[in-house]
Amino acid sequence: MIISKENFNDEIEKINNEKKKLNLLKNKKEDDIKNIISEKEEIIQKMKNKINEQEIIIKENKKEISNLNQKIEKIFHNMSNELKNKEDKLKEMENKLATINKEKGEEINELKNQMKELRLEILNKVSNKFPIVNNNELKNNYRIIIFGLTGVGKSQFCNFVIKDKTNSTFKVSDSLGSETNDGFFQSKKFNRLGTQFELIDTEGFEDDADLQIYSKILKANNNIDYIILILDFNQKITSEFRKLVENLIKVFTAEKFYNHFCIVFTHYYYLRKRIEQIKKIIIESCNELFKKIFNNKNKQFDTKIYFVDTEFDEEENTFDEKSQDIIDIILNQIKFDVDCFGSIS
């Protein structure tokens, strides 16, 4: 079949048009590819920038960590040195304390000797007026007997003096009849203030006790040096107590009894309100009572009156320090009185 020239030209034009379309499509695809490549390169660049930023941050963090580690090591080193210095100072202080304790111990022993010499000197000065025990030799055992009505705290007081936290050495009871020797007394020797003492706790008297009871107690306990009368701070001074004192005066005579006794009020609590006012009233009442008993208005008895708290504090695991100091005062006074006046029996 023969194609005419016109048809041929039409075909050629169609082909050219198709070719143009293909070229356009090709160019578009190439542009799309270039754009994609460009976007990818841009993303890659951004990722590289981010990586660089992270590397910089990591580098800075490493530097900070390194600096921090150096600071920690420096602090630890300083603390170690400081701890070592404190340990050295503590050791030095312990050595100084040991030296001081040794020196103080020597000083205390020297003071004890000086006190003994001073007591002997005082006793020698008053020797013209008072009998001196054992030719100016101090006693080495002071026997103290405790009297009081039932329930005033005699046994608890005795345990307090010997610092028995269990309150078991002297059996605490309303009546000692079932728990003490011969039903009348219990005793205990102890050392305090560099001296040996002996406490003799007696049965409580509820009413007008017969003089034979006192005689029996005293017969069973020869060579009594001193008497402590126990009263309860929270109870009134009764006629039974007055009778007890009057009977003791009959046994020992007024003069001997006056020189060999003191009064101790138990259950005295320092923090109670108006405590000093109550204490003052009690002292005045005691003074008046004993002036009547001794039939002597000129005698003063306030120096023979003491107040103590004998309760054991379980939380603090200790006794009241003020009261323990007062016990030392009482015992020193007993030593001096007995050395000056001899024993009461």
**What is the b/e burial string over 154-180, where b = at least 16 CB atoms within 10 angstroms of the residue's CB?**
bbbbbbbbbebeebebbeeeeebeeeb
Q: Locate all alpha helices (DSSP H) within 147-273, ordered by sequence.
A: 154-161, 211-220, 239-252, 254-259
> Which parts of the chain sit beneath pLDDT 70?
1-6, 101, 104-138, 173-184, 205-216, 218-221, 271-273
What one-character-per-residue DSSP string does 216-231 give?
Answer: HHHHHS-S--EEEEEE
Pick the CATH number of 140-341 from 3.40.190.10, 3.30.930.10, 3.50.50.60, 3.40.50.300: 3.40.50.300
pLDDT > 90: percent of the chain: 13
Q: Say how far apart CA 46 and CA 33 lie, in whole Å.
A: 20
Q: Locate all alpha helices (DSSP H) within the chain, ordered by sequence.
A: 5-125, 154-161, 211-220, 239-252, 254-259, 275-294, 321-341
What is the predicted pLDDT for the residue at 5? 65
Strand (E) or helix (H) holding 147? strand 141-148
| Digit-coded pLDDT (tens) for 58-77 | 888 888 888 888 888 888 78
Q: Has this prediction a pTM greater than 0.85?
A: no
What is the predicted pLDDT for the residue at 89? 80
Find where tokens 């007394």 sit. 185
What is the predicted pLDDT for the residue at 204? 74
What is the predicted pLDDT for the residue at 28? 80
Instruction: Name the pairing type of β-strands 195-202 and 185-192.
Output: antiparallel
What are the structural domain ranges in the chain? 140-341
| DSSP character at residue 8 | H
Taking the alpha carbons at both ends of the chain, their separation in whole angstroms is 174
